[in-house]
Amino acid sequence: MEDLQLLRDYAEQRSDRAFTDLVTRHINFVYSTALRVVHETHLAEDVTQLVFIKLARKARSLRHGTVLTGWLYRTTHFVSQTVLRSDWRRRKREYVAMQFTETNRDSESVWKEVAPLLEQAMTQLRQADQDALLLRFFSGKSLREIGEALGVSDDTAQKRINRALEKMRAYFVNHGVVASADAIAPAISAHAIQAAPVGLASNLVTASLTAGSGTTVGGTTVSILKAMTVAKLKTTTAGITAAAIVLLTGAGVAVRMQRATPQAGAVIATPPSNAPFIMRGVVRKPDGKPLPGALVRVAMIGAMVRLYEITNSLPANARVSNISVVTGDDGTFTVALLSAPPERKAVVAVNHDTGYAIATADQLSSNPEIVLQPWGRIEGVLRIGKSPGTNQLVNIGIWGSQETYEWMLVSHAQSVRTDANGRFVFSRVAPGDVWLTRSVVVRPGEGRQSGHRYVKVTPGDHVQVQLGGVGRTIIGRVDWISPPKAAAEEPSNSNDKLVFYGSMHARERHGMRPPRGWRDMSVEEKRRYVREWRDSPEGELFKREVRNYEFPVQPDGTFRVEDVLPGNYSMQVRADAQLPKGQRPRLAAMVEIQVDVPEMSADDADELIDLGTLSPARLQP
């Protein structure tokens, strides 16, 4: 297939196979180009990964007639130059983690915020706009199919979808949820449709046919109930064609399964002897006693676990997005998968009022014992400068990496709002290293996490913290004069009113250096090495160095960054081109500088650091 057809299949039909074919076809070309520019294999690998991330994000916006090889070549050069300018060795862990956080927010956190408002927002739309959204994001139809169904052109269908998304975004903003249309769309696509329980369709068909003999309303209802009961009792293992089978031991244990992977799992009584991948374990309380009734959820690539979203109580309306079981009377559980996860990357997360634990498949194979750690608690106050941070969103999360994949597959992110005095409470926190941030709206419809205060939470510990309120205040001004444009360039107003926003990333001095033989280490060996390094004295220094600040730039060009701690930072101020609706924005202008924030004394705590005027450079499309 042609490159653009594969890209279109990925963008419109979410075809992972199409994107995999594209990567396989072009990865050697991209890697070789990057290697010639950066002259180092590790950096070339990073560049290659980021180029294909950009390709995935821009899949919808590449125009017909684009030569993908040329686009990949130019993008590889741009990313390579950015890597070389930005001291990528220091920032690559942070950048990958931030990319993951943004992607996760798009597909997970945004949905959690908009879901309670979705139905009401839909009722505010005209029927034509409703139909367009339902066909696109609920039914997964292509623009051509939508156009045919509505009797309009593809372009008109796209405009109708964009208009409806913008109306929904405005509704969410008015109700306290800040998210861009580009974040809302994939969140709805990924989560709006949940897989029905296994066997429900066949049960309903049987019930409907059986109920045909009922002659009264009451009689029909009774017939349906009887038929559904009979159909449920007749459910056997005949439908074992799914990607996962959930098993457990112990009597009287409830099992609940909902959308976990593209196909739902089937519950059977005994493990198949030929199952290619089985995870077994026993969950124990901190005192060593077996724990019955603990919720055990399985996370794999493409099926994350949101640790704090539900508890082990499993109410009838709980939304479990992955495979789950409940431990038996003796604390044991078994999960058998019909296909082994890539590189054995499967994780179980245990959530109970008693405590929390996660374990990888490799850990379980060597030691099936899982001992819970008691939850911690964080209480704090947010300050912005000298004022309490009232009604602000405070977040906690952990710092994952490709090696510590258990922290990537099990999301530890959660958010709370501060009260009138800036106070906030996280009543249940998994023990370990966490970072506190506050959400900052850097431009209309886009919020980012800023601050990154490191906190170590020990099992059962109650931690009191202050977020913000210390550090220096940085001010400056962006001077932007729209350059003259040739007639063949973008519409005349595309760059006249750029919306600038900025970020500051600390330059860490204690980043991990891979040991000799790193490339030959197994996945589990790399995971253990990184975990051990994180707990080393060097790793502890690194954790305290990790922080970034996000900030908006006002319409008059001024900006202000509060509570910046001492250190050396790389600051970027950038803006996206204002392109016609339906096209994704591209980076139009940027300036990058180094900022040194000295240690404070009592005399200069209130002194502003004025960066003066910054003049961004225009970037060519």
pLDDT tens-digit map of 51-76: 888 888 777 777 777 788 888 888 88
Measured over all CA atoms, what is the biggest interatomic distance in the chain, rounded to whole angstroms?
89
Evaluate whether residue 362 is within a structural domain. Answer: yes
Higher pLDDT, 492 or 336: 336
The CATH number covering residue 27 comes to 1.10.1740.10
Average pLDDT rounded to a whole number, residues 208-215: 37
Which of the four pLDDT bands, split at 50, 70 and 90, describes residue 605? low
Q: Percent of the chain having pLDDT more than 90?
A: 22
Which residues touch 408 (CB under 8 Å, ≥6 apart)? 100, 400, 401, 402
Other C-beta atoms within 10 Å of 158: how many? 20
Instruction: Tell me, yes or no, whether 226 and 242 share the same domain.
Output: no
**Would you state the structure tokens that stand for residue 466, as one six-digit string?**
């202050």
User: 221: which residues sit within 8 A by CB, 6+ positions away?
Assistant: 214
Given this model, what pLDDT does residue 194 score? 55
The confidence score (pLDDT) of residue 319 equals: 38
In a domain, 41, yes or no: yes
Q: Which residue has the higher pLDDT, 77 or 275?
A: 77
Residues 479 and 565 in one domain: yes
Domain range enclosing 218: 200-233
**pLDDT, average across residues 310-330:** 60
- pLDDT beyond 70 at 264: no
pLDDT at position 199 is: 41
User: Does some domain include residue 77?
Assistant: yes
Statement to judge: residues 143 and 210 lie in one domain: no
Confirm whether 377 is domain-assigned.
no
pLDDT at 586 exceeding the cut of 70: yes
Q: Are residues 485 and 619 in the same domain?
A: yes
Going by pLDDT thresholds of 50, 70 and 90, the confidence category of residue 2 is confident
Q: Residue 5 class from Cβ within 10 Å (0-12 exposed, 13-18 middle, 19+ buried)?
A: exposed
Residue 286 pLDDT > 50: yes
Strands 244-247 and 266-267, bridge-based pairing = parallel
The pLDDT of residue 403 is 82
pLDDT at 299 over 80: yes
Whether 196 has a pLDDT exceeding 70, the answer reads no
| 317 and 359 belong to one structural domain | yes
Condensed to tens digits (0 to 9), the pLDDT of residues 423-456 reads: 999 999 999 999 999 999 998 878 899 988 999 9
Q: Which segment of 128-142, 268-282, 385-399 scores lowest on mean pLDDT?
A: 268-282
Q: What CATH number is associated with residue 170?
A: 1.10.10.10
Q: How confident is residue 174, by pLDDT bands cut at 50, 70 and 90?
A: confident
The answer to whether residue 464 is domain-embedded is: no
Q: What is the pLDDT of residue 521?
A: 87
**CATH code where residue 561 lies:** 2.60.40.1120
pLDDT in tens, 92-141: 444 444 444 444 444 566 777 788 888 778 878 888 888 888 888 777 77
pLDDT at 226 > cutoff 60:
no
Tell me: do 100 and 229 sit in the same domain: no
The domain that holds 291 is classified in CATH as 2.60.40.10
pLDDT over threshold 80, residue 361? yes
Residue 535 lies in a domain: no
Is 534 part of any domain?
Answer: no
Most confident of 138-142, 227-231, 347-351, 617-621: 347-351
pLDDT per position as a tens digit, 512-541: 888 888 888 888 888 888 888 888 888 888
Distances (CA, A) of 343 to 360, 524, 590: 12, 9, 39
pLDDT at position 458, please? 92
Mean pLDDT of 206-232: 37
The answer on pLDDT for 243 being more than 50 is: no
Residue 457: inside a domain: no
Overall number of domains in the chain:
5
Answer with the residue of higher pLDDT: 215 or 107. Answer: 107
Domain match, 478 and 615 both: yes
Lowest mean pLDDT among 36-45, 105-114, 371-380, 484-493: 484-493
Lowest-pLDDT range, 171-180, 188-197, 217-226, 564-573?
217-226
pTM: 0.56
Q: Are residues 34 and 97 located together in one domain of the fold?
A: no
Same domain as 352, residue 274: yes
Q: Are 568 and 594 in contact (CB under 8 A)?
A: yes
Question: Hey, CA dihedral for 362, 368, 371, 375, is it positive or negative?
Answer: positive
User: What phi and psi values does residue 473 have, to the nearest 5 degrees?
Assistant: -105, 130
Percentage of the chain beyond pLDDT 70 is 74
pLDDT band at 365 (very low <50, low <70, confident <90, very high): confident
- Helix pair angle (110-123, 154-174), 10° resolution: 110
- Checking if the pLDDT of 21 tops 50, the result is yes
**Collapsed DSSP state (helix, strand, coil) of residue 511:** coil
On whether both 618 and 485 belong to a single domain, the answer is yes
Q: What is the mean pLDDT of the chain?
A: 75
Q: Does the pLDDT value for residue 287 go beyond 70? A: yes
Choose the final residue of a domain: 332, 350, 371.
371
pLDDT at residue number 390: 93
Q: Which of 124-133, 562-571, 601-610 has the highest mean pLDDT?
A: 562-571
Residue 385 has pLDDT above 70, yes or no: yes
**Residues 242, 246, 251, 254, CA torsion sign:** negative
Asked if residues 381 and 422 have their Cβ atoms less than 8 Å apart, the reply is yes
What band does 273 get if pLDDT is binned at 50, 70 and 90? low
Residue with tokens 């339906």: 582
* pLDDT score for 260: 32
Kindly indicate the confidence band of residue 248, based on its pLDDT and cuts at 50, 70 and 90.
very low
Instruction: State whether 26 and 104 are in the same domain.
Output: no
- Asked if 14 and 33 sit in the same domain, the reply is yes
